Amino acid sequence: MRFIVSLLLVLFVLIPPAAKAQTEVDLALVLAVDMSGSMDPEEQTLQREGFVEAFRSTMIHDAIREGVHGRIAVVYLEWADTLSRKVAIPWTVIDGPKTARDFADRLSRSPIWQERGTSISGAIDASVKLLDESRVEPVRRVIDISGDGANNQGRPLPAARDEALAKGITINGLPLMLKRPNSFDIENLDIYYRDCVIGGPGAFMIPIRRREQSAEAIRDKLIREIAGLVGEPEIIPVQVERRLDCLKRVD
């Protein structure tokens, strides 16, 4: 008994409550953003500017402030094929307008790049690793996948998704449907995201079908993730019956 008390005192000194409290956040969020060859420059710009504008928005600042801890942790991951991944902005604790705007400013200065191939499974695996290395204690852990195509590289998508869900992680989606599908694209990308990408408690997605919708959609998606909200029109919950074969490769 005396040994246990001594051990607890040592731990109290080594990890004071104030320090522990600083690592507690309402949400650890990975923004996993598609930089593959199918993304044309306009799509890449719309995607990037949408996230920049969102973190400058007072609506996002208010949503963060209203959380239990009043802060979230965010990392911005860019991905393409199985080997092409880049952490554009590392884990950042956002606890108010200043840190949110700083995050937006750093993101706006980060160069945009592009590589061939689309490995959503690789993006999920990389996101899970980032969450495991976050050094924060979140109430919720979320991966947000945005992109304009189906998985065509790496391991089977259902395996990557299901391993993430088994860890209690939620995966949300932002399918970009701005172009008419050609022979290399998949039709009904929103259904593909619903059936093969998103999952976990309260999972949802918001398809972007018009360019003028992109900034608002990205901001609304972030607000829902920060506040833990689900439902409403244009959002297809994960609980809907499956229809697609997620193992079918799209080249």
Q: Are 26 and 226 in contact (CB under 8 A)?
A: yes
Helix axes 120-132, 157-166, angle to 10 degrees: 20
* pLDDT at residue 206 is higher than 60: yes
Q: List the domains of the chain with CATH numbers.
A: 23-227 (3.40.50.410)
Q: Looking at 33-47, 79-93, 153-167, which range is the least confident one?
A: 33-47
Measure the CA–CA gap between 226 and 154, rounded to whole angstroms.
30
Residue 194 dihedral angles phi and psi, to the nearest 5°: -60, -45
pLDDT band for position 242 (cuts 50, 70, 90): low
Q: Looking at 91-105, 198-212, 233-247, which range is the least confident one?
A: 233-247
Phi-psi label, residue 131: left if phi above 0, alpha if psi -120 to 50, beta otherwise? alpha
Measure the CA–CA gap between 173 and 199, rounded to whole angstroms.
9
Predicted confidence at residue 9, as pLDDT, reads: 46
Q: Are 150 and 119 in contact (CB under 8 A)?
A: no
Instruction: Give the DSSP letter string of 83-95.
Output: S-EEEEEEEEEE-
**Per-residue model confidence as pLDDT tens digits over 136-146:** 999 999 999 99
